[in-house]
Amino acid sequence: MTKSTGTRTPVQKNEQITITIEDITHEGSGVGKVDGYPLFIPKTLPGEEAVIKVVKVNKNYGFGKLLELKKTSPERVDPTCHVYCGGCQLQHMSYSLQLQMKQNQVHNVMKKIAHLEHVPVHPIIGMEDPAHYRNKIQIPVDEKNGELITGYYQKRSHRILENQDTCYVHNQAMNEVLPFARHLMNKYGIKAYDEKTHRGELRHIMIRTGHYTGEMMVVFVTRTAKLPAKERIVEELTEKFPFISSIVQNINDQRTNVILGKKTKVLWGAAYIHDTIGDLTFAISPKSFYQVNPVQTKVLYDKALEYANIDENDVVIDAYCGIGTISLFLAQKAKKVYGIEVVPEAIADAKKNAERNGIDNVEFTVGQAETVMPTWKKEGLNPDVIVVDPPRKGCDPEFLDAMIGMEPERIVYVSCNPSTLARDLRILEDGGYEAKEIQPVDLFPNTGHVEVITLLCRQNT
């Protein structure tokens, strides 16, 4: 019996059944049905026949665990990594099926949430080689039998799947540096941070790489300002890996699950590493937001520039501008670009990046876009184009109102969450804008995430 309703479902918890997988969710779980009752089963694919154990039962749906496959899909591939930390939840399916799944996800949310099924969704742009694309890792540290361990948390838990030193999506050089960095910390008696007692030193190890420059930054996130044996750690790390250009300590002494603290100090080398996107060079600090897939980032930004369709007379606003990556791309074509970002450190980096690239027709402002933009409107700023790239939660209603109120001719919306994009597109459509075309880009192969760019034009009134 289900405790919540007192009614009986077609299957019961802990029951073992054989089921045919009919569909797949946007997170990559297979979907099978028993008398119309859907069960979600990770690591299964449409067309497969699976023996499963029912692990959870709700009123309208349940969850199962794969025990055995009696019939497999031709789209099934052997996972490169068998840890299944929860990050690469699609690695058991062919890359072509991954792309199809993401394409369908975008179509579905545009139809069900935005009611924009008539707007063309172009074929998703995938990668030629969807492996080792990530230029950043930030991995938690724990302790087991007196030794430091590193690894990502198991899905929906706080248990570390230890010492995942070779990750299929990480830059290969990071896979080499991480275990040696952990070895050094063990060698010199550094203790892992214990969140229950708020004791110990090392919380996380972060590594960032410049894909095109080959530069690398290693960041040790500690609870304490003191890092024992730091000189010897730096010496051995740089001797082993001469391509490391920066070693940094970030201090986070708070009881929090936020990874980085407010204070950062350079232990060796530079405070930044650099990377390039097209003709532009960017400085990347420990706290910088910088897309994790540099190859597909160029594809994404080229498409955003195409949709913006700006010329030398256009004024552009780039909301959520970060360290100025999209802003500087736009500034190469526009008369003037105004970037807005709530994080002061990001704006400081953006200004340095503009100077570094010799671009002087861009102005960066610290603040919330929904507050800054109405002020600009009163001061007579009338943008021709607004480009927006918000976090996963999408745009706040106040920001959408401010964007509509500025009446740009075109809006280019870059999104990492199709569902919140669809929600916001509905509001923009009702506010006088028409979605013209939608382009998905696969920035995160082997995961359920997909990036989407949408062009909207102001309707004639």
Handedness of CA 346, 351, 353, 354 (dihedral sign): positive
Residue 195, C-beta contacts closer than 8 angstroms, at least 6 positions apart: 255
Q: Coil, strand or helix: which one is 62?
A: strand
- Among residues 88, 167, 395, 416, the one annotated as catalytic is 416
Closest CA relative to residue 449, chosen from 295, 323, 292, 294: 292
297-309 core/surface letters (b: 16 or more CB in 10 A; e: else): bbbbbebbbebbe
Could you tell me the CA-to-CA distances from 202 to 26, 223, 232, 250, 414 in Å, in that order? 36, 6, 16, 10, 36
Q: In the chain, helix, strand, coil percent, each to 5?
A: 25, 30, 45
Residue 329, C-beta contacts closer than 8 angstroms, at least 6 positions apart: 277, 278, 280, 301, 304, 305
Tokens 């275990």, residue located: 179
CA dist., res. 94 & res. 110, Å (int): 25
Residue 257, C-beta contacts closer than 8 angstroms, at least 6 positions apart: none
Read off the DSSP letter of residue 460: P
36-75 core/surface letters (b: 16 or more CB in 10 A; e: else): ebebbbbbbbbebbbebebeebeeeebbbebeebeeebeb
CA atoms within 13 A on the CB side of 362: 30
Q: Coil, strand or helix: which one is 75?
A: coil
Could you tell me the CA-to-CA distances from 382 to 199, 241, 359, 385 in Å, in that order? 53, 51, 21, 9
Check if 416 is active-site: yes
Report, as residue numbers or ranges, the catalytic residues: 416
